């Protein structure tokens, strides 16, 4: 019998999250899934682009995470964009609730991955960026790229 690898197998990334939000803190949370959802995730069929987290009844929920229906599934296949519960320690949930209610921050999923055979979501506490912040980030990224190009050509 083989042991599950401790490697982190990335399924999906939210590339827009770091562009649209200023990331303040991150956590790795478990996610409650149904049977065919896991099989679909193993095939890499997930999309985090429109997903976000909310607090309802003292629990953290992930909305709009799209996991495609499993091709080999039967009539009892899962709903692709259903609301999924996130699993965190109670102290972490309290911290998130306080930040969301007091500071007006948002819970944004950054990455979906398997860790030790279990599906995990890397979530972040983020503050939405304004348009001028996004432009400054693009300008800074271009400057870094140009600097790297100059250093590379000098060698």
Segments forming the whole domain that contains residue 38: 9-129
For the chain, the C-alpha Rg in angstroms (whole number) is 18
- Whether 136 maps to a domain, the answer reads no
Residue 124 lies in a domain: yes
Structural domains of the chain, count: 1
The answer to whether position 82 is within a domain reads yes
Look at residue 103 and tell me if it is in a domain: yes
Task: Examine residue 141 and state whether it is found in any structural domain, yes or no.
Answer: no
Query: How many Cβ atoms are within 10 Å of 66's Cβ, its own excluded?
Result: 15
Distance of alpha carbon 85 from alpha carbon 77, whole angstroms: 18
**What CATH code is carried by the domain that includes residue 55?**
2.40.280.10
pTM here? 0.78
Q: What is the pLDDT of residue 4?
A: 47
- Answer for the pair 54, 148: CB distance below 8 angstroms, yes or no: no
**Is 32 part of a structural domain of the chain?**
yes
> Does 1 reside within a domain?
no
**For the segment 62-103, what is each residue's pLDDT rounded down to a tens digit?**
999 999 888 887 777 888 888 999 999 999 999 998 888 888
Tens of pLDDT along the chain (155 residues) come to: 444 445 578 899 998 888 888 899 999 999 999 888 888 888 888 899 889 999 998 899 999 999 988 888 777 788 888 899 999 999 999 999 888 888 878 899 999 999 988 999 999 998 888 888 888 888 988 999 999 998 888 77
What gap in Å lies between CA 6 and CA 56, rounded to an integer?
Answer: 32
Going by C-beta distance under 8 Å and a sequence separation of 6 or more, which residues neighbour residue 7? none
């Amino acid at each position: 019998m083989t042991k599950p690898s401790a490697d982190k197998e990335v399924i999906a990334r939210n590339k827009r999250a770091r562009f649209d939000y200023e990331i303040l803190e991150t956590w790795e949370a478990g996610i409650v899934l149904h049977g065919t959802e896991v099989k679909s995730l193993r095939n890499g069929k997930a999309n985090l682009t429109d997903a976000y987290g909310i607090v309802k009844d003292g629990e953290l929920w992930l909305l709009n995470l799209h996991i495609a229906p499993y091709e080999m599934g039967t009539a009892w296949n899962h709903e692709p964009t259903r609301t999924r519960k996130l699993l965190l320690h109670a102290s972490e949930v309290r911290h998130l609730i306080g930040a969301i209610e007091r500071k007006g921050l948002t819970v944004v999923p950054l990455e979906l991955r398997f860790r030790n055979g279990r599906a995990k979501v890397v979530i972040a506490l983020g503050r939405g960026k304004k348009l001028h912040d996004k432009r400054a980030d693009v300008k800074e990224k271009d400057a870094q790229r140009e600097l790297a190009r100059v250093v590379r050509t000098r060698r």
